[in-house]
Chain A
């Protein structure tokens, strides 16, 4: 589960030093390009470009990035594959299973490819943001454009508690397996039920302790993030050029 601690990579990435808005605009801006310019090869190109940015410029290990990409893919692929059989009318191919006839449609294949390419592009844009920007910084940025304080605070808390429960679960699984609680199917089930029940209590207790720790240092609704500019005109100019380049690429691809 360790690789889920994206914060860790974000902090180590050289792109971390870019100002918050540069990263937000680069990521969201490219996402908007994807929505406006609907061409599978363009979406796919965006995916490649963003992946290269993430792994070479932001220095996220390829191994980690592959794992991360795999998560959305594992449900994206089956979901889009279904489209092949649903969107007609031009039949390309018919599979006959006993009394059932299943048609593969030409339009279905096109839509599946389009959907897949756009989703991949979109995912890579969001990963760029998440892998270069710690959550506290991201929310501080959003606070500055007027996202209500309480939403920022609750979001940061939820984010924090996801990790607290993962940690607790990990510890209990280790404790259980060290006493052979995970050996064999039945033991596994029994331990799993026990851990599931206890996880809630433990996370709750941890929550209370964290609350006390925050009180002891007078939590006032702000999470610290490193002192650096939110905004940089120069960086935004580079982002602007990048987006212009993407538009150029789109027209080039359509022309071909």
Chain B
């Protein structure tokens, strides 16, 4: 069963330019998938269809088998945590506490539960103790963490994250990756996110969709898609790991396809030792 599915959707903004041109997109429950693509490809536009912020001109979007309609928006949005690309767009309340509590309050959690969830969520993103601060004076990365806490606090079953890693420091990226994997393991969370940081995808995502000019150009298992040479033709880049792999093959070094850095290093060391 696909928990999230877009069937042949088309979309243009008021100015008439066709932004989405027949997008098909499926995600299985409990998977972590990434959408990559150059600036202006339409990733954000596509994501906004997943919780009914935008509606397609043609085609439809299904969440847990239910078509998104104006009538069932509440029900759909309860399932979906949406992280906006720009945290300034997401943070709406005058204090951190109020902002993180905003989702649970609207979904009718009781007061004790709200307080508990807010503290828990702030702890998960490493921002405990900031409850009474004004979010507007925080740094970009801190705002991003608050925005993430704001969706963790109502425990959605699908997270749609528009560039969650942009602006986080390396430790923040590592922690957030770990958090996503943990939530997937503990709660069976499904995650769809966009990213320009190709290297951050390895070891995290199950499948990758490549979006270009409002269409999905390529889709498949992470290693397959990210080592596909047509990626570079589309103006994107392979992860450093796969570039090294391809360069070695090109130079005639017989080496198996690496899953991570350790593997490629071990294989190289073995080859070097054999030659001695």
When the two chains form their complex, are residues B105 and A136 in contact, meaning their CB atoms are under 8 A apart?
no
Minimum CB–CB distance for A173 against chain B, Å: 16
When the two chains form their complex, are residues A225 and B98 in contact, meaning their CB atoms are under 8 A apart?
yes
In the complex, A69→B201 CA distance in Å? 54
When the two chains form their complex, are residues A220 and B106 in contact, meaning their CB atoms are under 8 A apart?
yes
Residues from chain B with Cβ under 8 Å of A214 in the complex: 92, 102
Minimum CB–CB distance for A45 against chain B, Å: 33
A213 interface residue (CB < 8 Å to B): yes
Residues from chain B with Cβ under 8 Å of A219 in the complex: 102, 106
When the two chains form their complex, are residues B136 and A163 in contact, meaning their CB atoms are under 8 A apart?
yes
In the complex, A108→B74 CA distance in Å? 63
Known: A7-B95, A160-B92, A210-B92. A217 touches B53 (CB 8 A): no
Within 8 A of A (CB), among B50-71: 51, 53
Within 8 A of A (CB), among B68-114: 73-74, 77-78, 80, 82, 84, 86, 88-95, 97-98, 101-103, 105-107, 111-112, 114
Residues from chain A with Cβ under 8 Å of B80 in the complex: 216
Residues from chain A with Cβ under 8 Å of B73 in the complex: 215, 218
Q: With CB as the reference atom, state the residue of chain A lying closest to B53.
A: A212
Within 8 A of A (CB), among B132-146: 132-134, 136-137
Residues from chain A with Cβ under 8 Å of B106 in the complex: 217-220, 222
When the two chains form their complex, are residues A213 and B94 in contact, meaning their CB atoms are under 8 A apart?
no
B150 interface residue (CB < 8 Å to A): yes
B219 interface residue (CB < 8 Å to A): no
In the complex, A79→B137 CA distance in Å? 37
B175 interface residue (CB < 8 Å to A): no
When the two chains form their complex, are residues B98 and A136 in contact, meaning their CB atoms are under 8 A apart?
yes
Minimum CB–CB distance for A3 against chain B, Å: 12
In the complex, A215→B111 CA distance in Å? 21
When the two chains form their complex, are residues A213 and B89 in contact, meaning their CB atoms are under 8 A apart?
yes
Give the interface size bracket for A toward B: 20 to 34
B154 interface residue (CB < 8 Å to A): yes
When the two chains form their complex, are residues B82 and A216 in contact, meaning their CB atoms are under 8 A apart?
yes
Residues from chain B with Cβ under 8 Å of A216 in the complex: 51, 53, 77, 80, 82, 84
B115 interface residue (CB < 8 Å to A): yes
In the complex, A216→B158 CA distance in Å? 13
Q: Among the listed B51, B86, B88, B114, which residue makes an inter-chain contact with A227, where contact means beta carbons less than 8 Å apart?
A: B114
Known: A8-B134, A12-B132, A216-B77. A224 touches B107 (CB 8 A): no
Within 8 A of B (CB), among A192-226: 206, 209-210, 212-220, 222-226
A167 interface residue (CB < 8 Å to B): yes
When the two chains form their complex, are residues B101 and A224 in contact, meaning their CB atoms are under 8 A apart?
yes
In the complex, A227→B86 CA distance in Å? 29
When the two chains form their complex, are residues A136 and B89 in contact, meaning their CB atoms are under 8 A apart?
no
Residues from chain A with Cβ under 8 Å of B91 in the complex: 213
Residues from chain B with Cβ under 8 Å of A225 in the complex: 98
Minimum CB–CB distance for B207 against chain A, Å: 24
Residues from chain B with Cβ under 8 Å of A160 in the complex: 92, 94
A122 interface residue (CB < 8 Å to B): no
When the two chains form their complex, are residues A217 and B115 in contact, meaning their CB atoms are under 8 A apart?
no
Residues from chain B with Cβ under 8 Å of A34 in the complex: none
When the two chains form their complex, are residues B94 and A135 in contact, meaning their CB atoms are under 8 A apart?
yes
In the complex, A215→B80 CA distance in Å? 12
Chain A 118-142 per-residue mask, 1 if CB under 8 angstroms from chain B, else 0: 0000000000000000111000000
In the complex, A7→B44 CA distance in Å? 33
When the two chains form their complex, are residues B115 and A227 in contact, meaning their CB atoms are under 8 A apart?
yes
Q: Among the listed A2, A209, A227, which residue makes an inter-chain contact with B111, where contact means beta carbons less than 8 Å apart?
A: A227
Minimum CB–CB distance for A11 against chain B, Å: 4
Q: Among the listed A2, A11, A224, which residue makes an inter-chain contact with B105, where contact means beta carbons less than 8 Å apart?
A: A224
When the two chains form their complex, are residues A5 and B107 in contact, meaning their CB atoms are under 8 A apart?
no
Q: With CB as the reference atom, state the residue of chain B lying closest to A159.
A: B94
Closest 5 CB pairs of A and B: A224-B101, A209-B89, A217-B103, A11-B132, A216-B82
Offer 23 A-B interface pairs, CB within 8 angstroms, sorted by A: A5-B136, A12-B132, A134-B94, A163-B94, A167-B136, A206-B88, A213-B84, A213-B89, A213-B91, A214-B102, A216-B51, A216-B77, A216-B80, A217-B102, A217-B103, A217-B151, A218-B106, A219-B106, A220-B106, A222-B106, A224-B93, A224-B101, A225-B98
Additional A-B contact list (6), CB under 8 Å, known A216-B51, A218-B77: A136-B93, A209-B88, A217-B106, A217-B151, A224-B102, A224-B114
Interface residues of A (CB under 8 A from B): 2, 5, 7-8, 11-12, 134-136, 160, 163, 167, 206, 209-210, 212-220, 222-227
